Amino acid sequence: MTPSLSPVICFDLGGSFIKMGVMSDKNVLTLLDQQPIPAQDWRAFCVRVSAMIARHAAEFAADSPVAISTAGIVSPLTGEMFASNIPAFHQRRLAAELGEVLQRKVIVHNDADCFALAEAEAGAGKGHKVVLGAILGSGVGGGLVSDGRLVMGQNGLTGEWGHGPITLTEVDIDGARVPIPRLACPCGQRGCLDTYGGARGMENLHRTLHGESLSSKAIVTGWQQQQARAQQTIQAWLQLVSEPLAYTINITGASCVAVGGGLASVTPLIAALNDAVQRCILRRTPYALVVPGAFAHQGGMTGAALLARRALAPAVRGL
């Protein structure tokens, strides 16, 4: 086994859980463990990660690197994390500081970026020149891959189509124009797509339109069952989401949009979104442009492991 193809220890860090896996020397990812994340306490977080690695030490080498996919933004200049929903490592240099604790090489990337790379390399975007990974989970996020390489922009931000004051102020529902208020976003701006576009956003939208609190699952189920209120909410949702996504496609030139997150599992919804996007872009494609990603559950860890391999052996191609 060459050093560049040694097993990679993979973690996916979210606001609720730490998921751990290992990518073998043959690029096969195996999920090993899942534990609650000590999201408030750096010391407890380090103890938890160390214990998980020790528990599964037989699965990898003593010098195997650690690849982390996480919510939040990683500064490309300093490695400092912006992860307001995980205070344990918010504003810490996670890779460097955790590496000192573990005595291993640690590489950290944003989870949407990791998902995008996994889809471009081995998923729905394989063979495409430009791939946009579009996250429709609890919120809206994204990552961009061009010619097989992750595009890293200013302050670690690229493909973040869910933020900025971009939402419509009215939508068409059954032929009537309905006003849509621009909501305050946790990012500090007002009118971000994130406030209406993800699962929590869909719930906000339904509440705004109907004064009724329903889960996104119940809304989507109602839409599929042709319930009137749910159908109106999805009509509005498709308009709100398709326009900024089409705009992003026009700017990036993406020939594939691989969708990840919980809403990606609803195939009819993603098909409807593709139809709505195709009506907005400058040139329709003869194939489905917006499609469910192939790595709905382990895309973050897969992409992180691929990035770790590249960082440790940049001359190796085809990983």
> What class, spelled out in words, does domain 3-114+298-312 have in CATH?
alpha beta
pLDDT over 50 (residue 82) = yes
Burial grade of 227 (CB within 10 A; 0-12, 13-18, 19 or more): middle
Q: What is the mean pLDDT of the chain?
A: 93
| Predicted confidence (pLDDT) per residue in 5-24, tens digit | 689 999 999 889 999 999 99
Q: Which amino acid is at 76?
A: P
| Mean pLDDT score, 20-36 | 93
Residue-level pLDDT at 314: 54
**Are 3-114+298-312 and 127-292 in the same CATH fold?**
yes
Please report, for residues 47, 148, 185, 254, the alpha-carbon distance to residue 109 in angstroms, rounded to integers and kept in the order given: 21, 16, 23, 21
Structure-model confidence comparison of residues 166 and 175, the more confident one: 175
Residues of the chain with pLDDT > 70, as a percent, come to 97
Report d(CA 295, CA 261) in Å as an integer.
Answer: 10
Report d(CA 156, CA 305) in Å as an integer.
Answer: 18
| Predicted confidence (pLDDT) per residue in 177-218, tens digit | 999 999 999 888 999 999 999 999 999 999 999 999 999 999
Please work out, in degrees rounded to the nearest 5, the angle formed at the alpha carbon of residue 120 by the alpha carbons of 251 and 7: 140
Q: Which amino acid is at 203?
A: E
| Domain limits, the chain | 3-114+298-312, 127-292
| Predicted confidence (pLDDT) per residue in 143-157, tens digit | 999 999 999 877 777
| Predicted confidence (pLDDT) per residue in 275-315, tens digit | 999 999 998 999 999 999 999 788 999 999 999 988 877 54
The CATH code belonging to domain 127-292 is 3.30.420.40
What global pTM score does this model have? 0.91
Report d(CA 131, CA 36) in Å as an integer.
Answer: 32
- Least confident piece of the model among 83-97, 111-125, 230-244, 305-319: 305-319
| Mean pLDDT score, 122-131 | 97
